[in-house]
Amino acid sequence: MFSFFKKKEARFVLGSPAKGKAVPLSEVSDPTFAEEMLGKGMAVILSEGKIYAPSDGMIVMVFDTLHAVSMTAADSGAEILIHVGIDTVQMKGEGFTGHVKAGDRVKKGQLLLEVDLEKVKAAGYDPITPMLVCNTTDYASVEGLTGNDVNPGDDAVVIQK
Active site residues: 83
Identify the DSSP state of 10: P
Q: Counting Cβ atoms within 10 Å, is residue 8 exposed (0-12), middle (13-18) or buried (19+)?
A: exposed
- CA 25-83-95 angle, 5° bins: 130
Q: Pairing relation of β-strands 57-62 and 68-73?
A: antiparallel
Task: For the chain, give the number of residues.
Answer: 161
User: Strands 141-144, 40-46: parallel, antiparallel or unpaired by DSSP?
Assistant: unpaired
